[in-house]
């Protein structure tokens, strides 16, 4: 069963992250890197990506003539996707356990970030993977 683990945050949260010390960022990235290695070793890893800064986000709609209309202004309170992991696991509990691991990645001073991770199963009836 495939699940996507979504890590979201606000623009203020992203600004806070940029203020972390290099040491704290290194420790954080090392844990995330090790989680990816563990998932690869267990055969559960499908994909992971970090997204670029919310400042580069656009919301797009199609006009009547099919031309894109872009809008780049978002309220400060909006939650933005920061990154995700796609895992292929035996059951939901395993997906929750991985999300909990990600949640405990260290933040400033080595304390767990305690970031909430949204866990969503892929729609099995209409998967459009090529």
Is the Cβ–Cβ distance between 42 and 35 less than 8 Å?
no
Core vs surface per residue 25-35: b (16+ CB within 10 A) or e: eebbeebbeeb
CA distance 11 to 78: 8
Helix (H) or strand (E) holding 81: strand 80-88
Number of residues that bind other proteins (CB under 8 A): 59
**Residue 109 in 3-state DSSP?**
helix
Question: Binding to other proteins by residue 68, rule CB under 8 A?
Answer: yes
In the shown chain, the binding pattern of residues 11 to 50 toward other proteins, with x for contact by CB under 8 A and - for none, equals -----------x--xx--x---x-------------x-xx
Q: Are 18 and 92 in contact (CB under 8 A)?
A: no
- Among residues 10, 88, 96, 108, the one that binds other proteins under rule CB under 8 A: 96
Using the rule CB under 8 A, which residue among 19, 43, 56, 77 binds other proteins? 56
In the bound complex, what is the minimum distance in angstroms from residue 100's beta carbon to other proteins? 4
* Residues of this chain that bind other proteins (CB under 8 A): 2, 4-6, 22, 25-26, 29, 33, 47, 49-52, 54, 56-64, 66-71, 79-81, 92-93, 96-97, 99-101, 103-104, 112, 114-124, 126-130
């Amino acid at each position: 069963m495939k699940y996507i683990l979504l890590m979201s945050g606000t623009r203020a949260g992203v600004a806070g992250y940029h203020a972390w010390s290099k040491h704290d960022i290194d420790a954080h990235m090392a844990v995330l890197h090790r989680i990816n290695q563990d998932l690869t070793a267990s055969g559960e890893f499908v994909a992971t990506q970090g997204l670029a800064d919310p400042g580069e986000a656009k919301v797009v709609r199609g006009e009547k003539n099919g031309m894109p209309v872009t809008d780049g202004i978002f309220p400060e309170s909006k939650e933005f996707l920061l990154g995700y992991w796609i895992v292929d696991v035996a059951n939901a509990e395993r997906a929750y356990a991985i999300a909990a691991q990600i949640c405990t990645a260290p933040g400033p001073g080595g304390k767990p970030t305690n970031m909430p991770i949204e866990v969503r199963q892929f729609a099995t009836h209409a998967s459009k993977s090529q």
